[in-house]
Every structure is written in C-alpha cells, then in structure tokens.
Structure 1
Amino acid sequence: MTGNEHGPPAVVALPPLHDDRLYSAEEVSQYTGAKPQWLKRALRSQMIPGGYLGRNPVWTAQHIRDLIAQTHEPQKRPSRGGGNGRQRRGRRLANT
C-alpha cells in the first residue's frame, strides 16, 4: 500500500530522558501520549506535576516519569447538576 496505509502505527524509539534538561509540552506528549493542550491545561489546574519557566510550561525528566507511572485516568470535570429536571420534581397528583 502507498499513501494511506492502514494498520498499527509505526513504533518510534524515543530518546532517553535526561535529568539535566527541561521538556516542553510537545516533547512530553511524545512520552505520555497526552495532547500538549491537555498537558498545559492540567498543569495550570495543578492536576499533574510540572512547572513554569517564565510563562512557558516545562517538565523535568522526573515529572515525565511520574506522569507515565500514573495508572489512573485523568480527572474528569465535576458535573454541574444539569440534566432532566423531571428527576428532581415530585410526582404530580392527578385531579380527582
């Protein structure tokens, strides 16, 4: 097949993590599989470890190892209590 090949994605060998440097969201996404925007948002809300260099979000090698070691799924937003209002209302009494 050429062009639009189907099947499993090619395995890419990632370079080893170095303890003496900082990693950007794009680089961390390669190691974790999370999207860069999600990483930035999660760091801003303090859901994941990391830090900032000026305004730029950055992660150390240890932060990335901690992210990879997390076995739970990312936290979901809490419900705002919306939905079907009928569930909250009492039963209507029929006129007799």
Structure 2
Amino acid sequence: QNEKKVFGALGGTVSFGPDKLSLPVTSIIWKQISSSGVVVKAIEWDDDGFVTPKPRFRGITELDRQTGQITISNLSADHNGVYTIDINSKEQEQRFRLELL
C-alpha cells in the first residue's frame, strides 16, 4: 500500500490529497478507516453536489473537486485514521494516515 503520513494538531486544520487527478472527474468520495476498522464516508461529491453524511465531518470538511484535496478543520481525535479516496467510483492506491499530535 502506498500510504502517506499526515500530521495535524488538535483544533487545527489539515489538507491532503492525490498527487494528480486524471480528468474528467465525475465523482469523488473520501472515506475514513478508524483504528478499529470502521469505514465511514467523510465527504462525497458528484453531479448532485457535496455531501458530508457523518456529524464528525459536517461543517468542517471541504473538498476541492479540481485537485481532489480534502481539508478538515477543528480537528479532534475522532479524525485519526487512514483516509482513502475513490475517484469516479474507483479506489485509488494512495492512502493517507492522519495522526493528531
């Protein structure tokens, strides 16, 4: 697995994303895998717009649909874990491990 470590501070903001996007992009889904292995959607974008289904990401998570980059602000311990990105319904190899310092 191609995993990149990302560090954030409690209450701070962090951004990370894929090295490059192959266009055209019709949908992006960021998922979080917690240390206990539970997978949840952090943020999703498609033709219908943006959705943040989980309260822990709502109002503090943004997605740049041009670059695929996710930004999470007001970080808490709930945001620790591994993040994967699906582009056009295909999971990408690159993963990001977010650790709060």
TM > 0.5 fold call: no
Taking structure 1 as the reference length, the TM-score comes to 0.27
Taking structure 2 as the reference length, the TM-score comes to 0.26
Which structure dedicates a bigger proportion of its chain to strand? 2
Higher RCO by CA contacts (8 Å cutoff, separation 6 or greater): 2
